Structures are given as structure tokens and as C-alpha cells.
Amino acid sequence: MSCRIFCIANQKGGVGKTTTTVNLAAGLALVGQRVLVVDLDPQGNATMGSGIDKRALPASVYDVLLESSSVAEARQRSDKGGYDVLAANRELAGAEVELVALEQRNLRLRQALKAVQDDYDFVLIDCPPSLSLLTLNGLCSAHGVLVPMQCEYFALEGLSDLVNTIKQVHANLNRELQVIGLLRVMFDPRITLQQQVSDQLKAHFGDKVFDTVIPRNVRLAEAPSYGQAGVVFDPQSKGAQAYVAFARELVDRVAKLR
């Protein structure tokens, strides 16, 4: 199987992008996939949540974007997670400014990832909560986008900006890019509104909505402070099991895309 590169994107903050990236990575590793997580958010939450100290990085995605390091040199291992990480910290916020002056500024990550594609079945790019030059580098590198979303009142409205950006990138910069699917996260079936929004989503996006639903589960929220994905921290928890189920669903869906 050739490497699939997916962005986990949603321009809203706090919607579960990083939780999805880290737990999907650990879930995919658990079912035998070789995974690289690329942390494209200067907050470095995917880095810390994988057990890597963002304050002590020998090299990071920043160095890769500015071509002072290759991915092979900069990547680190999340031992507990069973996947590799191209880490990030605050330094990455500066890349945004430095990149503007450079040639092919959208394509830096894409170029860099080419050299390691044979090492992985999946590359998961955790995007920042904006449609910035960093996110653009992610979208230009990827075959597809996974969109985590909470089933709230304005959820559909918020999606249109992202969908438009994906269309633009598809039209102008990356013909391969497509929305792979929408993942309902932090779901509470007892809340009628969430059920209604979930139904609307399915009516609107059809089978682009993943079957797996990630429940709201406190173990998923606790895990990052132990430097672990919830999937590793408490494998029996409802949240962990949902993410492993999602990893399986994604492997199946990707096999059908070919």
C-alpha cells in the first residue's frame, strides 16, 4: 500500500483536531500501520500529547520547512504511541513570516515529505486552527482532509469556509486533495441538538460522514497530561475504543478509494 497523507483540519480551535490526530495515529499503529504525525501547530499539543517535550527539540518541523533539516533527521519516535513525530513548538509561529519571502512557500512540506513516503502507510498532519500558510502547506502536501467536528448549532456554517479553501487548493495547487470524511467527535447522544445536527450532517454530506462516532470521554482529555494518546493511556475506555474503531474504518475506506 502506498503512503496516504491526510490533514486533520478545521479552522475552529478546540474541536478535537489534536485529539483525533494523536489517537488515530496510535490506533493505526495498533492495527499494524506505520504512521508519521506532523505537528503543524505552534502550540505543539500533538508533540506533547505524544510524549515528546516541545521545550527540548533537537530539530522540528520548523527546520524542515526552512530546509535546514530533512524529515529523516528531524523525526522522533513516540515510544508509547508506536508512531513517529515531526514535532513543533512556538518557534513554528515564526516560520509563517519567514516563509512568505521564499519561493514555493506552499510546497515546502510536500517536498520534504517525498523523501520519507516509503517509510509510512499514513502521514497525519495536525493543522493549526486557522487557514494560514502553515495549514496551506499541510493541504498542499495531502491526499485528503479529515474534518473532526462537534455537532453544535453553527457546525455546518463553520464548515463552508474550510470546504471552500479545500476547493481552492484543489483547483489551483493540489489536484489530489479531497475531503475524505467528517468525524463526529465529543458526541453526547443524550443531547437532542447534537442528534439533530448529526442527522443534518448525514443529510447534507451523505457517506462523507464517517460511521464511527467519537463520544465525549474524560479519559481522552486526561491522557495528554501523561504524554500519551487515550488509546494507549486507557485502552478500555469508550473514547479509546472509538478511535481504534475509527482507525479500522479509515483503513477500509482508504482501501476502497484506490
Binding site for ligand ADP (CB under 6 A): 13-19, 45, 129, 185-186, 214, 216-217, 220-221, 239
Q: Which DSSP symbol is given to 72?
A: H
Minimum distance of ligand ADP from residue 223's CB (angstroms): 8
| Cβ proximity to Mg ion, 18 vs 217, nearer residue | 18
Binding to Mg ion (CB under 5 A): which residues in 32-51? 45
Please work out the total of residues on this chain that contact Mg ion, with binding judged by CB under 5 A: 3
Residue 151 binds which entry of ligand ADP, Mg ion, none, with Cβ cut-offs from 5 to 8 Å by kind? none
Minimum distance of ligand ADP from residue 246's CB (angstroms): 11
Residue 214 binds which entry of Mg ion, ligand ADP, none, with Cβ cut-offs from 5 to 8 Å by kind? ligand ADP
User: What value, to the nearest 5°, has the Cα angle with vertex 151 and ends 149 and 156?
Assistant: 75
Minimum distance of Mg ion from residue 78's CB (angstroms): 16
Give dist(CA 79, CA 18) in Å, integer.
18
Return phi, psi of residue 214, to 5°: -95, 120
CB-count exposure of residue 222 (10 Å: 0-12, 13-18, 19+): middle
H helix or E strand, kind and range, residue 110 = helix 108-114
Is residue 18 part of the contact set for Mg ion (CB under 5 A)?
Answer: yes
Question: Which residue minimizes CB distance to Mg ion?
Answer: 18
Question: What is the CB neighbour count within 10 angstroms for residue 255?
Answer: 9
Contact 239, 215 (CB under 8 A): yes
| Cβ proximity to ligand ADP, 18 vs 106, nearer residue | 18
Residue 220 binds which entry of ligand ADP, Mg ion, none, with Cβ cut-offs from 5 to 8 Å by kind? ligand ADP
Length of the chain equals 258
Residue 19 binds which entry of ligand ADP, Mg ion, none, with Cβ cut-offs from 5 to 8 Å by kind? ligand ADP
CB-count exposure of residue 119 (10 Å: 0-12, 13-18, 19+): middle
Minimum distance of ligand ADP from residue 33's CB (angstroms): 21
Is residue 228 part of the contact set for Mg ion (CB under 5 A)?
Answer: no
| Cβ proximity to ligand ADP, 144 vs 224, nearer residue | 224
| Cβ proximity to Mg ion, 52 vs 251, nearer residue | 52
Q: Could you tell me where the beta strands, DSSP code E, fall in the chain? A: 4-8, 35-39, 76-78, 83-86, 122-126, 144-149, 178-187, 209-215
Is residue 12 part of the contact set for Mg ion (CB under 5 A)?
Answer: no
Residue 239 binds which entry of ligand ADP, Mg ion, none, with Cβ cut-offs from 5 to 8 Å by kind? ligand ADP
Residue 235 binds which entry of ligand ADP, Mg ion, none, with Cβ cut-offs from 5 to 8 Å by kind? none
User: What value, to the nearest 5°, has the Cα angle with vertex 129 and ends 124 and 132?
Assistant: 90
Give dist(CA 196, CA 94) in Å, integer.
41
Minimum distance of ligand ADP from residue 104's CB (angstroms): 27
What does the binding site for Mg ion look like in residue numbers (CB under 5 A)?
Answer: 17-18, 45
